[in-house]
């Protein structure tokens, strides 16, 4: 069974009409050169020059393209954890990033080296 820890078992199930619907529904810019992978193409190992996107992210997390700085920071953290053969962990995330209010939105900023992550 495919899960977030076993990406080599996650395959494309979207067809051309489904891709067209997502591109139109979520206003994905054509400049991103979206490509529908073959049905037997796993999301991992990653295709050089491409970013694999789960359509459920649009529905459940209000995911939008182009990516926001917030999402890039979260993805960077996950990739760093996976590069160290570790699952992402919220406590470790808090050691590197802190929540920051920016107007009516929230984002993360890099925590200073000697700044405590708990009060």
Q: Do the domain assignments include residue 115?
A: no
Task: Please count the structural domains in the chain.
Answer: 2
pLDDT value at residue 65: 74
Range of the domain at 76: 69-110
Q: What's the sign of the alpha-carbon dihedral 109, 113, 117, 119?
A: negative
Q: Are residues 21 and 55 in the same domain?
A: yes
Please enumerate in sequence order all residues whose Cβ is within 8 A of that of 117, keeping only pairs 6 or more positions apart, or say none: 94, 95, 98, 111
Q: Residue 37, by phi and psi: left (phi above 0), alpha (psi -120 to 50) or beta? A: beta
pLDDT value at residue 17: 93
Nearest to 65 by CA among 56, 74, 77, 53: 53
- In tens digits, what is the pLDDT along the chain, a chain of 119 residues? 455 567 677 777 788 998 899 888 888 888 888 888 888 777 777 778 777 777 777 777 667 776 677 777 787 888 888 888 888 888 888 888 888 887 877 777 888 876 665 55
pLDDT value at residue 108: 78
Q: Are residues 56 and 84 in the same domain?
A: no
Cβ pair 40, 11 in contact under 8 A: yes
């Amino acid at each position: 069974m495919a899960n977030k820890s076993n990406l080599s078992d996650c395959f494309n199930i979207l067809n051309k009409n489904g891709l067209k619907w997502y591109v139109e529904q979520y206003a994905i810019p054509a400049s991103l050169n979206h490509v529908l992978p073959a049905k037997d193409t796993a999301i991992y190992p990653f295709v050089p020059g491409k970013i694999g996107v789960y359509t459920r992210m649009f529905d459940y997390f209000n995911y939008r393209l182009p990516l926001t700085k917030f999402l890039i920071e979260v993805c960077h953290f996950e990739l760093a954890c996976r590069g160290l053969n570790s699952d992402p962990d919220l406590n470790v995330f808090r050691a590197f990033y802190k929540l920051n209010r920016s107007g009516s939105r929230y984002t993360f900023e890099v925590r200073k080296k000697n700044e405590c992550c708990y009060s």
